Structures are given as C-alpha cells and as structure tokens.
Structure 1
Amino acid sequence: MNFKKFKMLGLTLGLGAMLAACGSESATPANEGETNNNTETTTESKEINLAYVEWDTEIASTHVVAEVLEGIGYDVTVTPLDNAIMWEAVASGEADAMVAGWLPGTHAAQYEQYKDSLVELGVNLEGAKIGLVVPTYMEANSIEDLTDEANMTITGIEAGAGVMSATENAIAEYENLADWELLPSSSGAMTVALDQAIKNEEEVIVTGWSPHWKFASYDLKYLEDPKGVFGGAETINTFARQGLEEDMPEAFKVLDAFQWTSADIEEVMLEIHDGADPEEAAAKWVEENPDKVAEWTKDVE
C-alpha cells in the first residue's frame, strides 16, 4: 500500500492550508496534458482524497476503504481533520469523501449545516452508540446513580466532538451532575486514563462510543441514560462531495457499496491497538476478507 497520509500538527492549521497541501501533492487538473482533439470521453481521475476524524472507528474504516480503492488503481490520500473541518472539507469539495458521519445524534449539527452541499450515500455501519462508560466493578448503573465518583470528573475526548456536546447536555440535564466537570483530552488520552484506572481498580467515567476496541479489552458498561440525552442507536454514514460520481465513477461505486459490521471494524481496531500501523491492519483485513471486498467492488469495470 502506498496511499499518502497527512498528519494534523494542531487544530490551528486552517482548512485551506491543510488541504492546499493535499492538492499540491495529489491533485492534477482534469484537462492537464490533454490535446485539442475533439474526443467524446475523458479519462477518469485516479487521485482521491478521503477525509476522516481521528477516532479509532474512523481510522479503521477510512484505511480499509483506502486499501480497497488502491486495489482498483486509485492513488489515495487520507487526511485526518478536526470533526467540523472534515464535514466542511467534503461539502466544499476540498476533500472527495468520508465514511465517518455519525447520525442521527453525534454529528447532527454538522449534518444540518452541510447536508445540502453533500451527496449522502447511506449507512456503512449500524448499531453504533455513544454515552458515559465505566468499568463494571463500579456500583453505578445509571447516570442518575452518580454522586461523587472519580472526583466528580468525566474524562472526555476532543472538544467539539458529538459525544462531548452530548455530555455537556447531560451535565445540564441531570441535577446530580450539576457540580461535575467534563475534562477534554483526546481519544488516546481518554483510553490511557481508562487503562490506568482499571489497572488500579479506581473509579473512572469516560465519554464512550461503540464499536471500539476498549469493549473487547476491558469489562465495561454504559451508564443508563433515563433522560435520553445521548440518544439511541447511531449509524455511521458515507458522504461524498457533489460531482464525485461523474468525476470518479468507479470510486463512487465502491464508496456507495461499502458496508460492514461492528465485528469487522473491531478486528481492524484491535490490530491497530496491538501495534499495527493502520495501513498494515487495513491490508491484513482486506486480504482476509475477499468475499466482502468483492461485494464492494462487484460493479467496478
């Protein structure tokens, strides 16, 4: 696999500068090198930019899709972005597609803002969920059971993430959380804090979502949410920029067909958690699941 990857150096990087770099590396004007012959067809672009937010689920799914697209001849750039910028990038056409839209709750605000500028290809994974997660050894089973556990602190991820906004709403809605604090961090820092607390059998409450490798690695439970602040089951959805179907019809077909299960994605996430590079984990999964990949590529000529 040789697809290109851009690392975010910080959220202070602007969208234009970030994706201008992508363009300078991989984008070639569609008409460059063409002669003036009056041909009726043009060559499909083979360079595609997939945007994603650096959550474990999206790292796994984006790299698997990139591996499949590489296999049918595309030159793939995968670009990690802040959540809001990811949506803006695809809506504006700076990125070509994403397989990272959590609906109906987590990304509701971004979906409402950008849906008219996007092509919605549908669900690629069902049964996703967000909420507050604790080790099973803790006595609390509901958000309403919380009193002063974990120093009245919830360990979160990146500020602005959907689960963070939902947790802020939970603190406002549940009277017993009135004096609690939501501590922003990152997805990686959250799992480190979870791991350290469990090793010491300490109380810890984190913002959680599934599918995620942590549920296979630790004995965890979601706290019940009687007020329904975190919503019900979520789906992860695929979105493309307008015009992608015309510009890259084969890639569009693969993106449109892409759908897998929680068990599938957790295999890739566990490989990455155990030390594999995302590219290596994706390549291994693709090699070991030819029937599923064949379903995604069956309409590609």
Structure 2
Amino acid sequence: MNPDIQSRRRALLFAAAGMAVPLPATVLASDKRPIVLGQVSLSFYAVTGAVIQEVLARLGHDVTVRSGPHEEMFPLLASGAIDLMAAAWLPEGHAAYWKQYGTGAHVVTKLYDGAHFFWAVPDYVPANELASIADLAKPGVVARIDRQIQGIGAGAAISTLSQRALADYGLDALGYSFRPGSAAEWIATYQAAKQERRWMIFPTWAPQFLNKDGGLRPLADPKGVLGSMNYAALVAPQGKWQMLPDRTRAVLSKVHLGIQAVTEMDYLVNVDKLTASEAARRWIQRNANQVDSWFA
C-alpha cells in the first residue's frame, strides 16, 4: 500500500480514538529545529555564513547567528553552544584554536581551498626594492616604509603570526611594531596610505575583497612564518551534528563555494555596500545550478 495512504489511515484511526497523531519521520518537529550558527565577525566569514543560512532556510530551519572574535567563537564550538561554525581554517590557520577546542568537532565540508595568510604592500612599491619580508631589513626600505603595522584583532591568527614574523625576521630590532585593532582601522590605514602613496605593510589573507582589485602585491615569506595553504571548513560539535536531520546533514556535506566566490561576495559587501545576506543571495542566484546540486 502507498505509504502516504497508510499514514492518512493511521491518522484517522488515532483521531477517532481521541489520541495524538504521530508525525511521519520525514516531518518530525525536531527535523526543523532552530540552528545556531557561529561565525567570526569579519565580512568574509559573514558572507560564507550567509550562504549556509540560506541553505538551512531552504531546508526549513530557523537560524540564529552568533558572531564574535576568534577567541570567543572557538570555545562555543567546544562547549556545544553553537550547532555549526563557518568556518575553521585547517590544518594550519586555526591550528592553535583547533588543538584546544576542536577535539570533539566534526569537519562537515570544505567550503573553499587556498586560504592563506600573507604580508603585502601596495602595488606602487617597486618589486626590485621590496619583494620579500626579508627585504624589510634593507636600510633604504627601513628609512622609507611605515614601520607600524596595523592589523586586526589580537586573537586572530594573522595577528599572532605577524608578531612572530617581526621576531623571526629581526624586524622588531629595526623599529617595526604590530598594532592590533578593528577591521575598520585595518582597512582605513591601508586606504589612507594608498591615497598618499606611502610605503606600508599590509598583513592580510585570501579570500578578502582587496585581493579583487589588484592593488596589493604579496611579499615572499622565505622563512615560511605565515604558513602555507589551508582549507576553510564548515565544522560542528560532534554531538550537535549527529542530532541534525539526515537530509540537513546530507545537503550541508555537499556545500562548496570556492575561494573566488567568497572574494566576490566580500567585494559586494565592502565595495558595493550590500549586506552579507544580500551578497549571498546574489551569488546563489548567479550560481543556481551549483547550489541546486547540493540538494539533489
């Protein structure tokens, strides 16, 4: 007999007996339970998280977003206070956080490959004078460049690695220093230097929107202090992951964006002034076949 007919007959029998009607397994209320999504409070994480929100909404889930610095988000992953986190950079980028807080976490899917940290300079700085971090020790460069390096939050991996680079390359002894701050301060410092065509060091990463316009030139890192290539993963506390419906787990496990997609969405937010949700929806509309394949 058709399962739907069986379900309707069973429902009628329960109703006639004055009993509660059990929901079919495919529509249990718990299958559509609210989901808490954690993300670091930087725009390229926000657009990545916004795509995940759209996917979850299509699956019927209400989503609450918790956002904050790295040092706040990873403990939430460990404690199970969030259901999903977009995203962790593995194996190196967030290695210290992952070692401390990722023991009980599950890697759901690789959202994009090629994530990495680097120092850059504006493209008007001559490459024959400054091509690598080691060149920052040249007397002519020391005399001309702004030796205070503006970064983002102190808990970010790029901030920790940048301070290590100062020591490993002997730059701190030459008067270089690192100043943590907000993302807004980091961007404003770069934009002001470009407007005045000043030489400056920009600690950054990919993906992020400033890589799109071609105005940055990466510096070589011969000591490898800033690390190598990573992948960005959607992760979840193991217990929380197992509680999600099979359909939700199957779809999330297929999500893949690519580093170019995140760069483009981050550009829409920071240059075109869209919200993260608007940027995600625009990308989804432009890549409907790819997104539909996650649900196939």
Same fold per TM (> 0.5)?
Answer: yes
Q: Residue 251 of structure 1 aligns with which residue? A: 248
Work out the number of aligned pairs and report it. 264
Q: Displacement of 1:72 after TM fit?
A: 2.2
1:156/1:185 contact within 8 Å kept: yes
Deviation string, structure 1 residues 83-137 (Cα, Å, up to 9, x no partner) = 0221111221111111210122221111111222111224211011101111121
Instruction: Kindly indicate whether residue 176 of structure 2 is the aligned counterpart of residue 186 of structure 1.
Output: no
Q: Residue 131 of structure 2 aligns with which residue? A: 141
2:212/2:264 contact within 8 Å kept: no
Amino acid at match of 2:123: T
1:105/1:162 contact within 8 Å kept: no
Distance, in Å, in 2 between the alignment partners of 1:214 and 1:182 is 20
Alpha-carbon spacing, 1:123–1:176, altered in 2? closer, same or farther (3 Å): same
Q: Displacement of 1:40 after TM fit?
A: 9.2
TM-score (norm 2): 0.83
Greater per-residue helix proportion: 2
Distance, in Å, in 2 between the alignment partners of 1:263 and 1:49 is 26
Q: Which runs of 5+ in 1 are unaligned?
A: 1-34
Instruction: Kindly indicate whether residue 155 of structure 2 is the aligned counterpart of residue 155 of structure 1.
Output: no
TM-score (norm 1): 0.82
Alpha-carbon spacing, 1:93–1:158, altered in 2? closer, same or farther (3 Å): same
Amino acid at match of 2:258: T
2:109/2:255 contact within 8 Å kept: no
Deviation string, structure 1 residues 221-273 (Cα, Å, up to 9, x no partner) = 11111111011112111111223343222332232211121221122111111
Q: Residue 267 of structure 1 aligns with which residue? A: 264
Q: Displacement of 1:285 after TM fit?
A: 1.4
SS at match of 2:146: helix
Alpha-carbon spacing, 1:192–1:251, altered in 2? closer, same or farther (3 Å): farther
Distance, in Å, in 1 between the alignment partners of 2:233 and 2:242 is 21
Instruction: Kindly indicate whether residue 115 of structure 2 is the aligned counterpart of residue 120 of structure 1.
Output: no
Q: Residue 12 of structure 1 aligns with which residue? A: none
Alpha-carbon spacing, 1:216–1:39, altered in 2? closer, same or farther (3 Å): closer
Amino acid at match of 1:150: I
Greater displacement, 239-248 / 48-57: 239-248
Distance, in Å, in 1 between the alignment partners of 2:23 and 2:186 is 56
SS at match of 2:171: helix
Q: Residue 132 of structure 1 aligns with which residue? A: 119
1:1-301 map, 5 Å: 42-43=28-29, 44-139=31-126, 140-147=130-137, 148=142, 149-178=144-173, 179-249=175-245, 250-273=247-270, 274-298=272-296
Distance, in Å, in 2 between the alignment partners of 1:83 and 1:176 is 26
1:69/1:254 contact within 8 Å kept: no
Distance, in Å, in 2 between the alignment partners of 1:198 and 1:165 is 25
Distance, in Å, in 1 between the alignment partners of 2:214 and 2:195 is 10
Q: Highest CA radius of gyration, 1 or 2?
A: 2
Amino acid at match of 1:258: V
1:135/1:218 contact within 8 Å kept: no
Q: Which runs of 5+ in 2 are unaligned?
A: 1-18
Distance, in Å, in 2 between the alignment partners of 1:218 and 1:202 is 17
Distance, in Å, in 1 between the alignment partners of 2:214 and 2:194 is 8
Distance, in Å, in 2 between the alignment partners of 1:243 and 1:113 is 17
Distance, in Å, in 2 between the alignment partners of 1:260 and 1:38 is 39
Q: Displacement of 1:36 after TM fit?
A: 8.4
- Percent identity, aligned pairs only, is 28
SS at match of 2:274: coil
Q: Displacement of 1:203 after TM fit?
A: 1.4
2:93/2:157 contact within 8 Å kept: yes
Deviation string, structure 1 residues 56-79 (Cα, Å, up to 9, x no partner) = 221110011101211221111121
2:120/2:202 contact within 8 Å kept: yes
